[in-house]
């Protein structure tokens, strides 16, 4: 978790530095939100499987990053890619919403 906190600090510093460039800070903020979701998925799956949930977490993340965007492309719904990939302002909102939800679920699981 220490490396996660360091990544957040460096990412926020980069977002501030890249504020003048168009979209530069948005992509960094979106990536931080999705990173939060990914870390929380690993914590949640390890809690669910008694410390052996890494493969399940990789399967979930593989479906989120590869399978679901491909399904959206097949349905001509590429405009919804921001739900699964870090794109623009909507990606920031979606990434942090998903990150907060997964972190809450992981917290509830660990607190038990």
pLDDT digits (tens, 9 = 90+) for 10-56: 999 999 999 888 788 899 999 999 999 999 999 999 888 877 888 99
pLDDT tens for each residue of 66-81: 999 999 999 999 999 9
- Map tokens 């690993």 to a residue: 42
Burial class of 91 by CB neighbour count within 10 A (0 to 12, 13 to 18, 19+):
buried
Which one, of 69, 13, 9, 16, lies nearest residue 35 by Cα? 9
Query: Six-digit token pair at 4?
Result: 């996660």
């Amino acid at each position: 978790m220490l490396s996660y906190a360091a990544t957040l600090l460096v990412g926020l510093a980069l977002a501030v530095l890249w504020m003048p460039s168009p979209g530069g800070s948005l992509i960094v903020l979106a990536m931080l939100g999705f990173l939060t979701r990914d870390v929380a998925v690993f914590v949640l799956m390890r809690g669910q499987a008694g410390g052996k949930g890494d493969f399940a977490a990789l399967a979930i993340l593989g479906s989120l990053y590869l399978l679901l965007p491909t399904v959206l492309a097949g349905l001509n719904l590429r405009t919804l890619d921001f739900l699964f990939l870090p794109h623009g302002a909507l990606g920031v909102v979606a990434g942090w919403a998903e990150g907060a939800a997964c972190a809450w679920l992981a917290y509830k699981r660990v607190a038990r």
